Amino acid sequence: MSKTLLQIHFNFSGPFGEEMTQQLVGLAESINEEPGFIWKIWTESEKNQQAGGIYLFESEETAQAYIKKHT
């Protein structure tokens, strides 16, 4: 199996920056428990009112399962 990158962006009204980091600790910890999850780079744009990330999963199947669970 080859590893799979996934990029997701969604509308987000904040908070941003350090406050976002502090408020989303629980979410970050839950993402770490997702099957096949390897890492995530968090993204945010206060200007565009968006957040999201770039994820790496063990396989396309685990990436697709993550998408199905969260959409």
Per-residue pLDDT, averaged over 44-70, amounts to 96
The 8-class DSSP code of residue 52 comes to E
Q: Among residues 51, 33, 30, which one has the least CA distance to residue 41?
A: 51
| Dist. CA 26–CA 69, nearest whole Å | 17
CATH number assigned to the domain covering 4-70: 3.30.70.100
Per-residue pLDDT, averaged over 1-29, amounts to 94
Tens of pLDDT along 10-22? Answer: 999 999 999 999 9
pTM above 0.75, yes or no: yes
- Predicted confidence at residue 44, as pLDDT, reads 96
CA distances from 21 to 28, 60, 67 (A): 9, 28, 22
Residue 44: how many other CB atoms lie within 10 Å: 19
On average, the pLDDT of the chain sits at 95
| Dist. CA 12–CA 26, nearest whole Å | 17
